[in-house]
Structure 1
Amino acid sequence: MKIKALLIFVVFFTITVKSQIIKQGIITYEKSYTEKFHAENKNKHPSFAKFKMIEEKTIDILKSIRFKLKFTRTTSTFSVVPSLIIDENMFSGMALIPEGKGQYYNDENNILSEKNTFGEDFLITDEPLNWVLKNETKKIGDYLCYKATAIERKMKRGGMKEYPVIAWYCPEINTSFGPVGLAGLPGLILEANKGRLRYTATKINLNPKKNIKIAKITKGKKVTRKEMNQMLGEAMGNFKKNKGY
């Protein structure tokens, strides 16, 4: 009877833990490159050695940089964790592309991000991504995650380009938020690939005792992502024109 009672308690405890309501959390992420930009087949370029050195320094500093996602039931914020290495290392600016030192903010109606461009602060509004849910799964730590994909459009030197976004979300953790402003999936995003960048959760703190308070970000000139892309496109066009490209 004691064994049977113990088994019943274990099963009940497991179900309770699995089904607990997640009211808030703090998730720590690391960032890495899925592939090197300056591949060996580009080594004939005159500036290859310089670019390769910068990339290697950037990869090295990323090992010491962490990002934090803080979320409640309805809001989230994502930003880099301040550190001396960010303030003092000359390659930290490269390591923080595209996030910068600003915040990403999400709620039920807004996807916002702070960005300093052209020496001016902007508050950028994004549209939700159109996610496609997949049947593929994998374990991230102790959590079973499911795959979702989307397409993101960015302004690059050659014009607007499309980049794949791959997210691994965990339905067990019932919040729709994730790193770098990603959201809208039926579970916390524990890993995300954006182009050749990968964000992976390394520490998960659910329902911490201290209440998390998140204020909506307001710093900067308000623009849409489309407007920002237009400004970047014009700036790149002027740069090429001045350089005689």
Structure 2
Amino acid sequence: MKKIFTLIALCITVIVSAQNFQGKATYKTFRKVDFKMKVDGENSAMQKQIQEQLKKQFQQTYTLNFNKSESVYTQNKKLSAPQASMGGVQVVIAGNGGGTDVLYKNISDKEYLNKTEISGKRFLIKDKLEDYGWEMTSETKNIGNYTCYKATRSREETRTSMSVTDGKPEEKKEKVTVTTTAWYTPQIPVSNGPGEFWGLPGLILEIQDGKLTIACSEIVMNPSDKVEIKVPKKGKKVNQEEFDEIMDKHSKEMMERFRSKRKSKDGNSFSIEIQG
């Protein structure tokens, strides 16, 4: 009888331990940008300045707090450097919440909520998590102390590039195939990862999604300072398709304002094309 009670107590301990399971992963992002610029009457100094500003905006650090079924992914705040004038050109990444974004994922319910801002207006995007249809492989590599396995997927998407020449905005669209490579570790058995990535039998430690790279730099399992994983609630509720339409309209309005400002200048030809 005593052995039976001991076994029951052990089972209860394991269940409680699983319920309290929590981890914290830090990720760093990098993006290769195809940057093309033509400026009449000005030297290459502006191009170098814009390239440097783009590089800084795409290099960010994020924290993923997760348990067995839920997670919160947030950008780590940092002091922003003053914007350089660069001949009146300011580089702004549309849709960047400026460190205020909160991405909540519920793996059990296969849905996410993303709290984000556009020009001070707050939105709460609620939708289903995408089924990535990962293709599993037996290829492995070590990331830190973890053995990771490779998984891939490919998708077709329409890529849009915007340019302004002589004050006239031009939009170009093309179909491209984007390959995503994920490295996950079964040593941390949660079907989660950075951003909206998920769906593998282990935590994703590295993502290469087209020209975007997300790499895990630190993992702390069951940290002493527990973080409560809260569901974001504030913001105008929309689904992903509705938000994409809002973003598209906002981007076109930004280009129109830029066009109007350039029109009042000296008429020099100015063109920027950013892809990837």
Q: TM-score, normalised by structure 1?
A: 0.72
1:147 aligns with 2:146: no
The answer (yes or no) to whether the contact 2:95–2:117 under 8 Å persists in 1 is no
Residue 200 of structure 1 deviates from its aligned partner by: 0.6
Shift of 1:159: 5.5
1:209 to 207, 221, 224: 224
Which secondary structure does the structure 2 equivalent of 1:78 belong to? strand
Q: Retained in 2: the 8 A contact 1:111–1:128?
A: no
Structure 2 residue aligned with 1:77, among 60, 66, 72? 72
State the number of aligned residues.
216
Give the aligned partner of residue 8 of structure 1: none
How many Å separate the matches in 2 of 1:222 and 1:185?
A: 29
> C-alpha root-mean-square deviation of aligned residues, in Å?
3.4
Shift, 1:105, TM fit: 0.7
2:188 corresponding residue in structure 1:
173
User: Which amino acid in 2 is paired with 1:76?
Assistant: S
Is the contact made by 1:72 and 1:212 (CA closer than 8 Å) also made in structure 2?
no
Counterpart of 2:29 in structure 1 is 31
Q: Distance in 2 between matches of 1:153 and 1:238?
A: 23
Point out which structure has higher relative CO (alpha carbons under 8 A, 6+ apart): 2
The residue correspondences of 1:108-187 to structure 2 (distance < 5 A) are 108-109=108-109, 110-126=111-127, 127-135=129-137, 136-150=139-153, 151=155, 156-157=160-161, 158=172, 163-187=178-202
Q: Which residue of 2 aligns with 1:10?
A: none
Decide which of 41, 50, 57 is 2:53's aligned counterpart.
57
Alignment pair present for 1:90 and 2:92: no
The answer to whether the Cα contact below 8 Å between 1:168 and 1:191 also exists between their aligned partners in 2 is yes
| 1:188 maps to 2:203 | yes
- Asked if 2 retains the 8 angstrom alpha-carbon contact of 1:139 and 1:145, the reply is yes
Label 1:74 to 1:216 Cα distance change in 2 as closer, same or farther (>3 A): same
**SS of residue paired to 1:180:** coil
Greater strand share, structure number: 2
C-alpha distance in 2 between matches for 1:80 and 1:96:
16
| 2:61 pairs with 1:66 | yes
Kept in 2, the 8 Å contact 1:166–1:192? The answer is: yes
TM-score by length of 2: 0.65
Per-residue deviation, 1:153: 5.2
Percent of matched pairs sharing the same residue: 28
Structure (1/2) with the larger helix percentage = 1
